[in-house]
Amino acid sequence: MHYDQYDIEDFLDDPLFISWVKEKTPESDDFWTNWIQSNPPNLEAFKKAELQLKAMLSIDRMHIPVGGAEEVWDRIQTTIHSPSGKKVIVMAPKPWYRQNIWRAAAAAVFIFACMGYWAWQKSQTNPDLELANNKPSEVKQEILPGGNKALLILADGSSVVLDSANNGAITHQGGTTVIKLDGLVTYNQSVNRTNEVVYNTISTPRGGQYQLILADGTKVWLNSASSLKFPTSFPGHQRRVELNGEGYFEVAHNPSQPFFVSNGGTEVKVLGTHFNVMAYGDEPATLITLLEGRVSVSHQSRETNLLPGQQAKVTTEMKVLDNVDEEQVMAWKNGSFIFGESMSIPEIMRQVARWYDVEIEYQRKPAGHIGGSISKQVNISEVLSIIELTGEVRLELQGKKVIVK
């Protein structure tokens, strides 16, 4: 095995090298660190191969637009040779992979390889680069992705930690039996109904999510750092719940008993439909997005009806947006981050902070926008590395804090 004679293609074809890039172990780290220390002339080919392989392995987690490869390459070349060292932003628009997945994958490989080459060139003057400095690899900090975590607050003020509770019936509330399954709590109304109305609240922490089935059959998915206050049964002429944070609703159809979701001064009225409400206190707007059916949104003195694909954006006033990217809106529920091309880095980092339960600290707030998609099931280091591939920011993890540079 003559690694001292390897070029980039040889490294990319080598099973040991590929295994090391995909999943590093202390043994493989020792091997490659010792090897590069003994073969410094091969650093260039080694680093290019590592960055290009990482880029190719990231295709399923971050999507780059089809076409425009030459334009992106020109931008990267301009950045490489720019005296100011200004960063490049690579934009990823709406779901391009529906159009031509194979052509898209080829474009993604090309662009990520270019970005890898740009990053490598920059690293040649970076004294912190481990291999260039012949320093042993440091153990990376890691934060795992969030999961099914929630607290159920009962009518008497007592609470049940759902993620540690056993599956099965956990309590009785207002004529209903509360049953917990993995990641789901459901309210089963008994045959002997009661007119007693008591309220429960389900609350997810940062780094948590949970699913709920109400007594009327309505299904609710709660995102991180969210809460829903709801009655354990619906004996009256209306069904009302209160949401803080973000939730997706599939409302059981009942024309004689309209369903209301309220948040502060905003209220959504439905009979039976599918919609998403994003109403975090740290976001500049409340967003109500209709996927199926019809809803009425009211805020202060204004009321408007939404059709599927429309979104009500509520700040001090209310605007209706058409042709909303539903896949981006529903990404959190479907296990992904999808960053729209108009999303700022602070918007993206707020999503990361909620899911990984970290604090974000800015040395400066970047003004650029990036786009792409990343699985929510990976560790935070992978998410931060992929965001860094855009070249817009440097991200450093210190304990439970992400420093944006």
Confidence of residue 17 (pLDDT cuts 50, 70, 90): confident
**In the numeric block, which tokens belong to residue 266?**
């905003």
Q: Which residue has the higher pLDDT, 80 or 45?
A: 45
User: Which CATH architecture does the domain made up of 338-404 adopt?
Assistant: 3-Layer(bab) Sandwich (3.55)
Cβ atoms of 268 and 295 closer than 8 Å = yes
Task: Indicate if the pLDDT at residue 11 is higher than 50.
Answer: yes
User: Given this model, what pLDDT does residue 126 score?
Assistant: 47
User: Given this model, what pLDDT does residue 304 score?
Assistant: 94
Please tell me the pTM assigned to this model.
Answer: 0.68
HEC string of the chain equals CCHHHCCHHHHHHCHHHHHHHHCCCHHHHHHHHHHHHHCHHHHHHHHHHHHHHHHHHCCCCCCCCCCCHHHHHHHHHHHHHCCCCCCCCCCCCCCHHHCCHHHHHHHHHHHHHHHHHHHHHHHCCCCCCCCCCCCCCCCCCCCCCCEECCEEECCCCCEEECCCCCCEEEEEECCEEEEEECCEEEEEECCCCCCCCCEEEEECCCCEEEEEECCCCCEEEECCCCEEEEECCCCCCCEEEEEEEEEEEECCCCCCCCEEEEECCEEEEECCCEEEEEECCCCCCEEEEEEECCEEEEECCEEEEECCCCEEEECCCEEEECCCCHHHHCCCCCCEEEECCCCEHHHHHHHHHHHHCCEEEECCCCCCECCEEEECCCCHHHHHHHHHCCCCCCEEEECCEEEEC
Task: Indicate if the pLDDT at residue 239 is higher than 70.
Answer: yes
Task: Indicate if the pLDDT at residue 356 is higher than 90.
Answer: yes
What average pLDDT does this structure show over 97-113?
42
**380-388 and 345-356 are packed helices; what angle lies between their axes, rounded to 10 degrees?**
170
User: Which CATH architecture does the domain made up of 147-329 adopt?
Assistant: Sandwich (2.60)
Length of the chain: 405
What average pLDDT does this structure show over 351-370?
89
Task: Indicate if the pLDDT at residue 365 is higher than 60.
Answer: yes
Confidence of residue 92 (pLDDT cuts 50, 70, 90): very low
Cβ atoms of 235 and 195 closer than 8 Å = yes
Instruction: Return the amino acid letter for 191.
Output: V
User: Given this model, what pLDDT does residue 388 score?
Assistant: 84
Average pLDDT, the chain: 79
For 49-75, the pLDDT digits (tens) are 776 676 555 444 444 444 444 444 444
User: Given this model, what pLDDT does residue 99 score?
Assistant: 39
Cα 113 to Cα 388: distance, rounded to the nearest angstrom? 14
Ranges 22-31, 261-270, 282-291, 376-385: which has the least confidence: 22-31
User: Given this model, what pLDDT does residue 12 score?
Assistant: 77
For 302-312, the pLDDT digits (tens) are 999 999 999 99
Cβ atoms of 211 and 220 closer than 8 Å = yes
Task: Indicate if the pLDDT at residue 340 is higher than 90.
Answer: no
What average pLDDT does this structure show over 228-255?
95
Cα 229 to Cα 210: distance, rounded to the nearest angstrom? 14
Confidence of residue 194 (pLDDT cuts 50, 70, 90): low
What average pLDDT does this structure show over 331-343?
87
What percentage of residues in the chain have a pLDDT greater than 70? 76
User: Given this model, what pLDDT does residue 344 score?
Assistant: 87
For 199-211, the pLDDT digits (tens) are 999 999 999 999 9
Instruction: Return the amino acid letter for 58.
Output: S
Return the number of other C-beta atoms located less than 10 Å from residue 359's C-beta.
Answer: 12
Task: Indicate if the pLDDT at residue 105 is higher than 70.
Answer: no
Domain residue spans in the chain? Answer: 3-123, 147-329, 338-404
What average pLDDT does this structure show over 261-276?
93
User: Given this model, what pLDDT does residue 246 score?
Assistant: 98
User: Given this model, what pLDDT does residue 6 score?
Assistant: 75
Cα 323 to Cα 321: distance, rounded to the nearest angstrom? 7
User: Given this model, what pLDDT does residue 14 score?
Assistant: 80
Q: Which residue has the higher pLDDT, 10 or 262?
A: 262
Confidence of residue 215 (pLDDT cuts 50, 70, 90): very high
Task: Indicate if the pLDDT at residue 275 is higher than 90.
Answer: yes
What average pLDDT does this structure show over 76-103?
38
364 burial level (CB within 10 Å; 0-12, 13-18, 19+): exposed
